[in-house]
Structure 1
């Protein structure tokens, strides 16, 4: 590792990132550490985080509100792409990493730093997302990852921090590792490391228990313009406010809980629990509206693109030429995805039960079996004859052998 004089550190206020500050200075000879905490709508008060960084030895402590950019530039493109990693996880945490990387690079350039740093360990996905994103945005910046190299246990890390005035946690630390932003919460570790163990109810925050959910369903109408959600129940609403409001509505019905065994990029399987109320509902509703407004061939082809798109987000390749090219394709497909989807929320389930669009390709006179039927039934026989010809010729050939 080359010597770095000034470093911008991605900072959360937790033990690891706090200890990174004296560790970078004492062990790696960094002269100045500037911390950066990103407000991505997680709802936490970040002033104590800013003050803790300064007390831990940072020369400056930056707190940047990037919630609107997070929703418009990262969440909305993912919704347009129906991005679900392994067809389940809507990438709430993964989507935050390229934005935080961008904030780090921008701050490094603004303050003249020659390196950026993060507190990721060597077992997770986030180290890849940060390192690759930073390299894509500014390949000349060094990327430092002290927690990946220091080899200390949590107890040793706390003791190291105490040597430099960083207080140990006042109360017994939670056994869980939790990441939170406007799009959702990710919970792992502790008892969840046993795949057979049911997640305890107290780990959840954004979603209520099914047993406590209302006994009557609730309906919500989501309006889309070119694949982007723009209204709730007929009322236009801003991007971040829409997500926040829908989080509350869907979460009250216990919608958005995910418990899965996830294949990490580094090659291990991990048990992950997520809460993504609004994001899950929006992707399902958006996919339903596409079924009404896109032709069959485009719809089917896009489903394959969505899998690749999801993997690229998960694997830290947001700032890659392929994702950029796929984004152009996805945006083209969204030109006619405008309309409204009605969703029924009840006891942990969000079901699209109605959809309408001025661009609808649904033709009642073709779909109906009633008197209004205008489909030419006689044409079907010729179509089937031509369609089945390759199979019929193959079968005849097999019989003659």
Structure 2
């Protein structure tokens, strides 16, 4: 029996690796997707082998993650429940995809993950497995073992001599990649409790951010950010640069109570500095280049698209369908946006595009030299008010 475990080196997957060895007496291959966790990957291979893994495979997927997952999501303007930029959600399909590829390559017939039985990740992983490898069997330890919560896992780890990055005092569940870092559990389970300042790892406290604002220019081509301050960069370089800028100015902190797919409300705290800047700037260039009806129709579909990512349906036909429609809308979303970064806030200073639909001759409050006949508005208003006048006359006549 051979199992490929999606392994991060955190509390859950460290305990799970040892538990799988003891429970199933199987060969366990630990797979860690490098999505830009940086220092969190140090010593991971040695730790996994110490826990009993036959091998630990670490693959650098950062470029694929940003280019093929984050950027398409930005082009779609995705945001879940108007606040969450889907940093954890968008990483799961790529991890699952590579996990399946490794299982095929290594001749494994079981996949395992560390998602809890109350969370969304179990659904995300297993929907991706189903779409990509319906023949492989899935082991979900949190739905099988007798541990009741993270305190039980900490006790087990201490008893087994397993090194873990958490304690009873700071039992936060964290997920990090190049797009964001998330925090759950511990004092955060009380939605009235302010997150402690030592929780945050990426962004400076906005109150302590520089007193001098920073102005940047982002260049877009077909909905993709391709440059910063006149310098062309690859997607990964752009996101890393924006992370540094956003972190310095305290941008991208979000504290929300969200609705999980499984039916539970949960409180999550997120840091997403670069993604916040990208999302904001992309919207600004769209205001200049997207047709009104296309924008309004696209905006009506954003909640559904975001929900598909959040719920784990990245590899579904409906997500592909919406993606193609959104990408079609981006053909002329090109130009430059100028932003001011200051103490947690983003302000638009300007935007320009060779495909701008903004016509100053039409928009001016001064004489437009015949570009727009004010008298036309009379008939326009009269036709649009016809049904309202009909309803009013009917109701008043009764």
Question: Could you state the TM-score of these two structures normalised by the residue count of structure 1?
Answer: 0.94
User: Of 265, 277, 280, which aligns to 1:281?
Assistant: 277
**Does the 8 Å CA contact 2:85/2:275 hold for their aligned counterparts?**
yes
**Does the 8 Å CA contact 1:56/1:165 hold for their aligned counterparts?**
no
> 2:21 maps to which residue?
25
User: Of 96, 100, 125, which aligns to 1:130?
Assistant: 125
**Does the 8 Å CA contact 1:344/1:352 hold for their aligned counterparts?**
yes
User: Of 381, 388, 391, which aligns to 1:391?
Assistant: 388
Q: Please say which of residues 152-161 and 172-181 is displaced more in the overlay.
A: 152-161
**Does the 8 Å CA contact 2:80/2:303 hold for their aligned counterparts?**
yes
**Does the 8 Å CA contact 2:11/2:166 hold for their aligned counterparts?**
no
SS at match of 1:248: helix
SS at match of 1:147: helix
**Does the 8 Å CA contact 2:335/2:351 hold for their aligned counterparts?**
yes
SS at match of 1:25: helix
> 2:336 maps to which residue?
340
SS at match of 1:35: strand
Alpha-carbon displacement from aligned partner over 1:176-228 (angstroms, at most 9, x marks no partner): 11111100110111111111111111111211012211112111111111101
User: Of 356, 359, 366, which aligns to 2:362?
Assistant: 366
Note the C-alpha offset of 1:353. Answer: 2.3
Note the C-alpha offset of 1:263. Answer: 0.9
**Does the 8 Å CA contact 2:340/2:346 hold for their aligned counterparts?**
yes
Note the C-alpha offset of 1:378. Answer: 1.3
> 2:3 maps to which residue?
7
SS at match of 1:282: helix
Q: Please say which of residues 175-184 and 60-69 is displaced more in the overlay.
A: 175-184
Note the C-alpha offset of 1:132. Answer: 0.7
Q: Structure 1 pair 118/352, CA: closer, same or farther in 2 (3 Å)?
A: same
SS at match of 2:88: coil
Note the C-alpha offset of 1:151. Answer: 2.0
2:228 equivalent to 1:223:
no
Whole-Å separation in 2 of the counterparts to 1:250 and 1:47: 25
Whole-Å separation in 1 of the counterparts to 2:221 and 2:166: 48
Aligned length: 396
2:91 equivalent to 1:117:
no
2:322 equivalent to 1:320:
no
Whole-Å separation in 2 of the counterparts to 1:362 and 1:168: 56
> 1:382 maps to which residue?
379
> 2:75 maps to which residue?
80
Q: CA RMSD in A?
A: 1.7
> 1:291 maps to which residue?
287
Whole-Å separation in 2 of the counterparts to 1:396 and 1:17: 69
Note the C-alpha offset of 1:174. Answer: 2.3
Note the C-alpha offset of 1:28. Answer: 2.6
2:249 equivalent to 1:239:
no
Whole-Å separation in 1 of the counterparts to 2:135 and 2:32: 23
User: Of 12, 19, 23, which aligns to 1:16?
Assistant: 12
**Does the 8 Å CA contact 1:98/1:129 hold for their aligned counterparts?**
yes
> 2:201 maps to which residue?
205
**Structure 2: 5+ residue runs without aligned partners?**
none
SS at match of 2:331: helix
Whole-Å separation in 2 of the counterparts to 1:169 and 1:75: 27
Alpha-carbon displacement from aligned partner over 1:268-318 (angstroms, at most 9, x marks no partner): 111111000111111111112111111111110100111111000000110
SS at match of 1:335: coil
**Does the 8 Å CA contact 1:37/1:50 hold for their aligned counterparts?**
no
Equivalences for residues 120-199 of structure 1 within 5 A: 120-152=115-147, 153-158=149-154, 160-161=156-157, 166-167=162-163, 174-199=170-195
Whole-Å separation in 2 of the counterparts to 1:226 and 1:54: 45
User: Of 61, 64, 85, which aligns to 2:59?
Assistant: 64
**Does the 8 Å CA contact 2:154/2:167 hold for their aligned counterparts?**
no
Q: Please say which of residues 156-165 and 102-111 is displaced more in the overlay.
A: 156-165
